[in-house]
Structures are given as C-alpha cells and as structure tokens.
C-alpha cells in the first residue's frame, strides 16, 4: 500500500499527528519564545495567524509573557501561584502591561481632541503608586499603577497623562465592596479598553483621594479614572509642568519606591510593533 493510500484510509490520525507537531506543538512554541525572549511583536503576530494559535496564546503564551516581563508583579497578583487565574484573562493583563489605551472625552474629563492608543515603549508599575489611588478604607487592597504616559496636546494646554493599573483579587477587594455598598452605577458610555467589560467611574463614585493627583503630578479635580469589574484601572489627568526642584524630589521618591516596583520593562520590541500598528491600536487590539 502506498503512502497516499494510507493517508486516504486514515485521515483522522494524520490530522491528529499534524496538529501536535511543528508550530502547534506547545513545547516547541515555548522553546521558540524563550529563545527570542518573549518578543511581543512576534507573539501578537502568532496569535493572529489562526484560531488554534490564538487559543494557545490565550491559554498559555500570554501568561508566560507576563511572568517573563514582570515576575514580581505577577507573583503578587496571583499570590505566588504560577498557575493562578487573573481577572479578565492573561491576554487582557498583557495588553494592560504594554499598551497605552489612549483617551476620549468623558462626562467628567473634556478634551479638545481624542488621543489614540499605542504600544508603550517602556512601562513601570508600582504598588506604592497604587496605594495613592486608594481611599483610607481601601488601603488593604493591592493595586499596581503605571507612571502616566505623556501625550502633548497643544502649546496652550498642559500635557495629557494616561495611566493604567490592575487590582489583585478585585472580586474580594474593599474597593469593590465600597462601590457595591454605595450602589454606584456603571458608566453608560465607557468600557474597559483591556477586557471590554463595564466600568465604574471613580470620580462619579467620589472615591478619588487627593493623593492620586499628587502622585501623578496633577492637581485635584483634574483627573478621572475608571475601574472595571475585572479590576483593570485606566484613567487620564492633566500634568502640571514640574520645576527643577520638584523633579529632584520626584527622583528621591522613585529611589525610595524601588523595592515596591512590580514591573519595569524595556520596550524595544514594542517600539517596533508600534511602527507596524501606526500608533492607532486598531490592529493591535485584534492581536491580543
């Protein structure tokens, strides 16, 4: 019997064998991505090839990427369990870690024009920064927040700061309990840019402490942020230009926060991918 005849008689075994070989083999994929240091551009392109690779990326590869790029932050978010679950999924966390979501006007934060999303060249998340976004009753929650991504708007306006963050175990958090207890309604216009779920406006809920504006380098009342049901935070603020004296104070604070950082990742691969997406985020959102 020829090889062609055997293939016709047993097509199922051939399909099973081919599905477990080459690029669809998880062991092979892990070795490939480890060898290229979990290049984000390659992972995005891999996840966009077909449904099978997208499913493997969603179940395995995005988690491995997050662990590789920010091991301390991920360990804290999953309480040290490497196979722990993340609200909204690992693909949403990966997008939050590496993608600035941009900004459009909201009910409490008006812009002359929208600012598009883009892959961040580098990101730094800190739980020290996160504490500045928690009210006194919620200080036992664990929240990581990034430094604001600066977006120039115009000569006559302050720069726009766009930031993002993530809670650990948001379903059991005091912040969520406070929102539920106050019967705060979901915002009817905004959705989470990372997982697509509904969000609460912390401004509308009056849960924005003054320490948040100080931490961002803004002024009280000139910021807004949202938290989704999965614990993803995203927000905007107007950044106040710093004097040289204030910049020196900020450097000292950063040195003191060094042990508190959850992630500080360089973005050479992300800069390359930003050229591919042309900074719009339209294609990049499909790849996560």
User: pLDDT (tens digit, 9 = 90+) per residue, 233-266?
Assistant: 999 999 987 654 454 444 444 444 444 455 566 5
- Write the pLDDT tens digit of every residue in 112-149: 888 899 998 778 999 999 999 999 999 999 999 999 99
pLDDT tens, residue by residue, 9-29? 444 444 444 455 556 788 899
Q: Are 191 and 157 in contact (CB under 8 A)?
A: no
Give the whole-angstrom CA distance, residue 239 versus residue 12.
Answer: 61
- Compute the mean pLDDT over every residue in the chain, rounded to the nearest whole number: 81
- Give the number of other Cβ atoms within 10 Å of residue 283's Cβ: 13
Residue 281 confidence (pLDDT) above 50: no
- Mean pLDDT for the stretch of residues 3-14: 49
For residues 47 and 91, give the distance between their C-alpha atoms in angstroms, rounded to a whole number: 10
DSSP string, 32-73: HHHHTT--HHHHHHHHTT-HHHHHHIIIIIHHHHHHHH-HHH
Q: How far is residue 212's CA from residue 130's CA, in Å, rounded to a whole number?
A: 9
CA pair distance 212, 126, nearest whole angstrom? 13
Residue 31, both tokens: 């070795």
Any idea where the domains of the chain sit in the sequence? Answer: 102-239
pLDDT of 189 above 70: yes
What pTM did the predictor assign? 0.79
CA 30, CA 62: separation in Å to the nearest integer? 11
Size of the chain, expressed as the number of residues it contains: 288
């Amino acid at each position: 019997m020829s090889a062609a005849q055997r293939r016709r008689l047993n097509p199922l075994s051939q399909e099973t064998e081919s599905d477990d070989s080459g690029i669809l083999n998880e062991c092979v994929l892990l070795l490939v991505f480890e060898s290229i240091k979990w290049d984000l551009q390659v992972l995005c392109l891999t996840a966009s090839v077909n449904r099978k690779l997208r499913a493997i990326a969603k179940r395995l590869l995005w988690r491995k990427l997050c662990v590789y790029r920010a091991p301390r932050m991920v360990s804290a978010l999953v309480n040290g369990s490497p196979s722990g679950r993340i609200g909204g999924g690992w693909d949403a966390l990966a997008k939050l870690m590496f993608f600035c979501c941009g900004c459009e006007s909201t009910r409490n934060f008006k812009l002359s024009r929208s600012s598009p999303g883009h892959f961040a060249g580098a990101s730094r998340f800190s739980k020290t920064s996160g504490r500045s976004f928690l009210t006194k009753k919620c200080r036992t929650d664990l929240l990581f927040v990034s430094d604001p991504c600066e977006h120039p708007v115009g000569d006559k306006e302050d720069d726009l700061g766009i930031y993002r963050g993530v809670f650990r175990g948001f379903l059991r958090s005091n912040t969520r309990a406070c929102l539920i207890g106050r019967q705060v309604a979901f915002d009817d216009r905004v959705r989470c840019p990372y997982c697509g779920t509904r969000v609460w406006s912390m401004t509308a809920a009056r849960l924005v402490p003054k320490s948040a504006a100080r931490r961002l380098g803004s002024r009280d009342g000139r910021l807004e942020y949202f938290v989704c049901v999965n614990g993803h935070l995203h927000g905007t603020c107007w950044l106040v230009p710093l004097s040289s004296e204030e910049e020196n104070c900020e450097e000292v604070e950063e040195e003191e926060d060094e042990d508190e950082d959850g992630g500080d990742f360089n973005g050479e691969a992300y800069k390359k991918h930003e050229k591919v997406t042309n900074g719009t985020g339209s294609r990049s959102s499909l790849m996560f």
